[in-house]
Each structure stands twice: as structure tokens, then as C-alpha cells.
């Protein structure tokens, strides 16, 4: 049997190290799953509705759900669930799918990088660290996607909230009740901001299902994460509790929001000169210098070469 080449030995070593890490982690996950499996007959009816609560599903989402459920031990953190809800992922299986996507991206990236760096003439330990490190970096892609979606949703809510406040103030001033005004504004604001319209509709659905108005509105503020919406919810609840004029409170709140938006715009404009300083020094000034001093420098070099 011919001896194995050093390149193949390095590939096998990297694969075996990674497989050992995966198997050890899987053993710990299996132990935790075995402990929880003993409690399932007490929590669910095996011949009834227990299957509806079990993670699973069809397609890629079902695979990610199962992988994420194993990785999180069936107990994803509440902070992750709140973050995903603010980003627009309201499903109960969203945390498991998120963690499953991170795990699969990590495994795929590590294997791909391990294959690519095998021909490099560097120590095997460095190759293993490079594969693990680059794979860990790729596993943060779902975090970047969620953070981007969260920022876009929050910005959209902040832009549309003054318009929704004006519509609420107009409806309440015309004699409509708060619930009826809320329903009317929900239908109108959806044409401007789908995110804010959906959140207001979800709040209205919670109220119709029996949740107190204060609780439903606080849930909406928690789902969006916008500070301005939390202030609006607090204003509406205080006006309803103490019997003050909701129309006057909404009018004052809308004026304050417009002043804050103007101040933020002025602050951004003042910061723009400082932000443009570095691009001008690195890119614009050298180009201007070449255009202005280049011909004179070429003429000077010609004169010096002739003398």
C-alpha cells in the first residue's frame, strides 16, 4: 500500500479535529435531550396534541428548526426572542431557526475553508485555527441580517409615527373614540408604513381577544423597540387613565416629535463637514494637487533635463 502524502494527512487531520469537536458537542446535546425526553410524557399527550408542539416541519425551515432546537437545548434565550420579534420574526420557532442557520453556516464554512487552506505551506495547528476562526466569522451572517432588518424597521416606524399621531389627533378631535380612531388609522397608515400598520393591527387583535389596552400597547412598544412609540403608548395610557384630553396630548406630542426630527437633521448636517474631512484629504485633495501641480512639475522636469 503506497504511503499517504503529507497533503492528504493534513486534510484528514483537520477533518478529524473538526469531527471530534462536533461529536463531543453532540454528545452533550444528546445527554440534555435524553433528560428532557423523560419529562415529555408528563407534559404532552403522546397520542394527542403533543405533535403540534414538537419542533419539526418540512423543507429547509424544518431542518433549521431541529438543528437550532438541539443547539439551544430547547430553551432559547428571551433576549434573542425579543430581538427577533423586533426584527419582524414573530414565529415561536424563529429563535430555533436562527440558531440552526448559524450552526449550519458554521459547519459549511469550516469545511470549505479547511479544503481551501490545505495546499498552503503552514503548520497544521495554524490551519485548524484559521478554519475555526473564519468559520466563526461566517456564522455571524444571520446576526448581521437580523440587525439590518431591525434597524430598517425601527427607522420606518420613526418616520411614519408623526403621520400616525396626526391622524389619531384628527380622528379623536372629530369625536371618534380611541378604539375606533385606532382602527381607522391602522387602515390608513398601512399605505405609508406596512410595519407600523401591521403592529397597530396586531395590537387591535390583542385587544379584541381580551387583552387590556395597556398591555396590548406595551406589547407593541416592546415589539418595535422604538423609543418614540413607547412614549406615545405611555401618553395614551396616561390620558385615558386620568381623563385628560387625548387630542391635546396627541397634538403636543406630534409637535415635539417634529422638533426632535428637525434637531436630529440639523445635528446630522453639522456632523457632515467632519465626516467629509477624511474622504477629502485621502481622495479629493491628492487629485486636485495632481491636476494643478502636475503640468508645472512636468514642465520643470523637462527644463532641468535640457540644462
Instruction: Of 38-42, 208-212, 262-266, 271-275, give the lowest mean pLDDT range.
Output: 38-42
Question: Is pLDDT of 25 > 70?
Answer: no
For the chain, how long is the longest CA-to-CA vector?
A: 103
Helix axes 227-242, 213-224, angle to 10 degrees: 170
Average pLDDT over residues 117-131: 79
| Cβ 62 vs Cβ 99: under 8 Å | no
- 44: DSSP letter: S
Q: What is the pLDDT of residue 19?
A: 66
Instruction: Read off the pLDDT of residues 80-94 as tens digits, 9 standing for 90 and up.
Output: 888 888 888 877 788
Among 186, 144, 161, smallest CA distance to 254 is for 161
Q: What is the pLDDT of residue 46?
A: 41
Q: Percentage of the chain with pLDDT > 90?
A: 0
Q: What is the pLDDT of residue 113?
A: 81
Residue boundaries of the structural domains of the chain: 6-43+54-139, 154-260
Alpha-carbon distance values, 186 to 21, 163, 172, 224, 254 (Å): 51, 11, 14, 15, 17
Confidence of residue 22 (pLDDT cuts 50, 70, 90): low
The full DSSP string for 98-124 is HHHHHHHHHHHHHHHHHHHHTTS-S-H
| Cβ 164 vs Cβ 189: under 8 Å | yes
Q: Contacts for 270-275 with beta carbons within 8 Å, 24 or more apart? A: none
Residues 6+ apart with CB under 8 A from 232: 161, 165, 253
Evaluated on CA atoms 206, 210, 211, 213, the torsion sign reads positive
Q: Percentage of the chain with pLDDT > 70?
A: 77
DSSP three-state, residue 90: coil
Instruction: Read off the pLDDT of residues 260-279 as tens digits, 9 standing for 90 and up.
Output: 878 888 888 888 888 888 88
Mark residue 193 as left, alpha or beta (left: phi above 0; alpha: psi -120 to 50; beta: remaining). beta
Question: Is pLDDT of 33 > 60?
Answer: no
Mean pLDDT: which of 8-12, 25-29, 63-67, 217-221 is highest? 217-221
Confidence of residue 101 (pLDDT cuts 50, 70, 90): confident
Instruction: Read off the pLDDT of residues 44-79 as tens digits, 9 standing for 90 and up.
Output: 444 444 333 344 445 666 777 777 677 666 677 778
Average pLDDT over residues 158-181: 84
Tally of residues, the chain: 307
Amino acid at each position: 500500500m503506497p504511503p499517504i502524502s503529507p497533503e492528504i494527512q493534513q486534510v484528514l487531520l483537520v477533518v478529524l479535529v473538526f469531527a471530534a469537536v462536533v461529536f463531543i458537542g453532540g454528545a452533550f446535546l444528546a445527554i440534555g435531550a435524553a433528560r428532557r425526553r423523560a419529562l415529555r410524557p408528563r407534559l404532552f399527550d403522546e397520542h394527542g396534541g403533543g405533535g403540534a408542539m414538537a419542533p419539526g416541519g418540512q423543507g429547509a425551515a424544518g431542518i433549521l428548526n431541529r438543528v437550532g432546537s438541539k443547539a439551544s437545548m430547547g430553551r432559547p434565550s428571551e433576549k434573542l426572542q425579543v430581538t427577533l420579534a423586533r426584527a419582524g420574526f414573530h414565529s415561536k420557532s424563529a429563535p430555533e431557526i436562527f440558531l440552526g442557520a448559524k450552526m449550519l453556516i458554521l459547519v459549511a464554512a469550516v469545511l470549505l475553508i479547511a479544503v481551501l487552506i490545505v495546499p498552503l505551506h503552514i503548520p497544521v495547528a495554524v490551519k485548524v485555527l484559521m478554519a475555526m476562526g473564519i468559520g466563526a466569522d461566517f456564522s455571524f451572517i444571520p446576526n448581521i441580517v437580523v440587525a439590518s432588518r431591525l434597524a430598517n424597521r425601527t427607522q420606518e416606524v420613526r418616520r411614519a409615527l408623526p403621520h400616525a399621531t396626526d391622524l389619531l389627533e384628527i380622528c379623536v378631535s372629530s369625536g371618534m373614540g380611541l378604539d375606533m380612531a385606532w382602527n381607522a388609522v391602522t387602515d390608513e397608515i398601512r399605505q405609508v408604513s406596512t410595519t407600523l400598520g401591521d403592529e397597530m393591527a396586531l395590537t387591535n387583535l390583542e385587544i379584541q381577544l381580551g387583552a387590556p389596552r395597556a398591555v396590548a400597547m406595551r406589547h407593541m412598544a416592546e415589539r418595535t423597540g422604538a423609543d418614540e412609540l413607547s412614549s406615545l403608548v405611555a401618553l395614551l395610557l396616561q390620558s385615558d387613565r386620568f381623563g385628560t384630553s387625548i387630542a391635546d396630548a396627541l397634538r403636543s406630542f406630534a409637535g415635539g416629535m417634529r422638533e426632535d426630527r428637525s434637531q436630529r437633521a440639523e445635528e446630522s448636517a453639522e456632523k457632515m463637514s467632519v465626516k467629509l474631512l477624511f474622504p477629502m484629504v485621502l481622495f479629493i485633495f491628492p487629485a486636485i494637487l495632481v491636476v494643478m501641480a502636475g503640468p508645472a512639475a512636468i514642465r520643470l522636469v523637462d527644463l532641468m533635463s535640457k540644462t
